[in-house]
Structure 1
Amino acid sequence: MGTVRHILQKKGNKVIAIKPTCTVFEALEMMVEQNVGALLVMDGEKFVGIFTERDYARKVILKGKASRDTLVQEIMSEHPLTVTPDTTMEQCMALMTQKYIRHLPVMDKQQLVGLVSIGDIVKYMIEEQKCIIEDLEHYITGHV
């Protein structure tokens, strides 16, 4: 099975980030514009956390806070679980399943290099299975 590096090679290293001093409303606007469920929180070049739809639902709406008055740094998840480019898909799936998370920031030597989501992993696995099936069909029919 492949590694996070394989996903980043296909999808790229672009990360969608927001400053911790932005409002939750601004973060939500960015999430809608970019069609994503999570934003990495960057203080300059330093990765300081992640802001997800779950953070919004649990820490703003349910606590009666206002998204226009609440800062991302107040509700972001600090010190989220991270992976490296060499982390396997199986390890990512295990982490996501055990910890009930859908996004894993990718760190390489203390440097943020990307983000993988459960959707990225599922897409990769489907493509891998398709290749395996095609190879088996070619083997069975004798067409190499």
Structure 2
Amino acid sequence: MGTVRNILQQKENKIFSVNPNDTVFSALEKMVENNIGALLVVDEGKFVGIFTERDYARKVILKGKASKETQIKEIMSERPPSVNPDNTMEECMALMTTKYIRHLPVFENGELVGLISIGDIVKYIIDEQKFIIENLEHYISGT
């Protein structure tokens, strides 16, 4: 099974982030523009947390807060679990399952290098299985 590094190499690894003082509304706009479900929260170049659709649903909507006035720092998840590029897909899936999360920041040598989602992992596994199946079909048919 592959590693986080394999996913980072396959996807266009842009790091989408917001500042803790940004409004939830502006963060949601950025998420919609980029078709993503989470943003890393970075303050003066330092990773401080993550903001996800789940944070919005549970900490803004259900608590009756206004997204145009609420700042990211009020509702972001601080110190989320993270991985490094050498973690396997199995390790990531186990971490996501036990922590009930869908996004993992990726750090290498203490530096933030990306973000992977459960969708990235599923896509990688499906692509890997398709490749194996195609190779087996060619082997069986002798082509």
Q: Tell me, yes or no, whether TM beats 0.5.
A: yes
* Residue of structure 1 in register with 2:30 after alignment: 30
TM-score after normalising by structure 2? 0.97
Letter in 1 for 2:64: G
Mapping 1:91-130, distance limit 5 Å: 91-130=91-130
Distance 1:46 1:122 in 2: 29
* Residue of structure 1 in register with 2:12 after alignment: 12
* Residue of structure 2 in register with 1:59 after alignment: 59
Residues 40-91 of structure 1, C-alpha deviations (whole Å, 9 max, x = no match)? 0000210000000000010011111111111000100000000000000111
* Residue of structure 1 in register with 2:134 after alignment: 134
Is the partner of 2:113 in helix, strand or coil? Answer: strand
Letter in 2 for 1:115: L
State the superposition RMSD in angstroms. Answer: 0.8
User: CA offset at residue 13 of structure 1?
Assistant: 2.8
User: CA offset at residue 14 of structure 1?
Assistant: 1.2
Letter in 2 for 1:111: E
Any stretches of 5+ residues in structure 1 without a counterpart? none
User: CA offset at residue 98 of structure 1?
Assistant: 1.4
TM-score after normalising by structure 1? 0.96
Identity of aligned residues (%): 71
Runs of 4+ residues deviating >2 angstroms: none
When the two structures are aligned, how many residues end up with a matched partner?
Answer: 143
User: CA offset at residue 137 of structure 1?
Assistant: 0.9
Residues 105-134 of structure 1, C-alpha deviations (whole Å, 9 max, x = no match)? 000111100000111111100110001101
